[in-house]
Amino acid sequence: MLDIRFVRENPELVKENIRKKFQDAKLPLVDEVIALDAEYRAAIGQASDLRAERNRLSKANGPLFGKLKKAAEEEKAAIQAQIDANMAAVKENDDTLKALEAKEDELQKKIQQIMYTIPQMIDPSVPIGPDDSCNVEVQRFGEAVTPDFPIPYHVDIMESFGGIDLDAAGRVSGNGFYYLLGDIARLHEAVLAYARDFMIDKGFTYVIPPFMIHGNVVQGVMSFPEMDAMMYKIEGEDLYLIGTSEHSMIGRFIDQTLTPDQLPQTLTSYSPCFRKEKGAHGIEERGVYRIHQFEKQEMIVVCRPEESMDWYDKLWKNSVELFRSLEIPVRQLECCSGDLADLKVKSCDIEAWSPRQQKYFEVCSCSNLGDAQARRLRIRYKDENGKTAFAHTLNNTCVAPPRMLIAFLENHLQADGTVTIPEVLRPYMGGKALLVPNKK
């Protein structure tokens, strides 16, 4: 969410940013919110004047009451009339003031609703384009190899190990759910445990957050379209299941003012994630690629504004390093303006190589949200000079199995159906260097 003062002082910059995000339907909102803000500030000024006048009249009656007691009989009527006139004016002011305060509240809500809709200012380095087809490949890490034998669909690979049961999950929960079993389930947990320790070794603090959050936190961490497309609400309660631990991790700092020694906050969090996944379709979204429930290890940073771009680079590079340590080729893809959610300043995806599809697919998403979430949730910090400002927030996927397992299994599958285990993962797999299928 932008600062209303910035919008007021830079309307053309805000409109140009909206155009860059190909959201021209929102252009009238800029003038509308500026007009509402002017009306709101005028109401505040009028209310302030009324309060001052009310105080003046109330103070004026004090001496008049004293005069009334000492006045001669012929003077009392005039003094009493002045007192009554002042009290009537105070009463009239009170009525007007109540109406103005109600108007202020109504205007403030309208302004906030529009400000929640106007997108965050994107970084100048973001490529301009209407949708993800305009995302830009920045660099590749590792050789993308296509083996000389066919790579089965990931569900078929898992089934060869007796490692997945989608039919039972469909009967129990419906589409978009799964049972993982045996070595595949163990591999799933091994990857999460390895990612946890990888981030701890980077100096991040490990956190297990709440898996449900209040509605005001949801509104603070994401845009309304995201909220509608993703979040499951608990019926009859002001609680939502988190779509990622970023939601409750950033929410942890709501209404907090952090001291200089508390920044940066560098955190790595584990959680299950729950998503509606509205509009999911297509053959590659079968199996465990696009699902309603999964687990994830996340990276979260809360920092000073001047540090956020450095942390952005550190976060996505952590993902590259982790995937390369698991011997999975990846590339960095810069997200274009039209592919950025409204709260994001800059974002990139880390995509893993799929030998079966002979293309890359998303496994991590790294985002710098500037002060958007902090402004919505009132997350501030106080610098060494005592000045208070909004912090910046960032997040990045560390690993999100079971989707990550697709990349792992395809890149480590051998011609005989076995799957190799990289050395860094073996301590989490009971020392196993190879998984051998138990089904043909």
Contact 87, 332 (CB under 8 A): no
The whole-number pLDDT of residue 287 equals: 83
Residue with tokens 């595949």, as numbered in its chain: 184
Residue 420, helix vs strand vs coil: strand
Give Cβ neighbours of residue 238 (< 8 Å, ≥ 6 apart): 214, 215
Low-confidence spans in the chain with pLDDT less than 70: 53-93, 278-286, 439-440
Q: What is the pLDDT of residues 94-123, one digit of tens each?
A: 777 788 888 899 999 999 999 999 999 999
Torsion on CA atoms 207, 212, 216, 220, rounded to nearest 10: 40
Q: What is the pLDDT of residues 210-245, one digit of tens each?
A: 999 999 999 999 887 777 788 999 999 999 999 999
Packing angle of the helix pair 27-70, 11-20 (nearest 10 deg): 150
Q: Distance between CA atoms of 71 and 81, rounded to whole angstroms?
A: 13
The whole-number pLDDT of residue 284 equals: 45
Q: Which amino acid is located at 31 in the chain?
A: D
Q: Report the mean per-residue pLDDT for the chain.
A: 90
Instruction: Please name which of 25, 31, 37 lies closest in space to residue 12, comparing C-alpha atoms.
Output: 31
Burial class for 12, CB neighbours closer than 10 Å (0-12, 13-18, 19+)? exposed
pTM: 0.88
- % of residues, the chain, pLDDT over 70: 88
The whole-number pLDDT of residue 98 equals: 82
The whole-number pLDDT of residue 354 equals: 96
The whole-number pLDDT of residue 63 equals: 61
The whole-number pLDDT of residue 78 equals: 67
Instruction: Please name which of 175, 180, 183 lies closest in space to residue 155, comparing C-alpha atoms.
Output: 180
**Residues making up the chain, counted from first to last:** 440
Half-sphere exposure of 199 (CA within 13 A, CB side): 28
Q: Which domains does the chain have, with CATH numbers?
A: 4-117 (1.10.287), 132-435 (3.30.930.10)
Instruction: Please name which of 296, 289, 272, 279 lies closest in space to residue 164, comparing C-alpha atoms.
Output: 289
Q: Distance between CA atoms of 53 and 96, rounded to whole angstroms?
A: 12
Give 44-53 contacts, CB < 8 A, sequence gap 24+.
44/104, 46/100, 47/97, 47/100, 47/101, 47/104, 50/93, 50/96, 50/97, 50/100, 51/97, 53/89, 53/93
Q: Distance between CA atoms of 274 and 2, rounded to whole angstroms?
A: 29
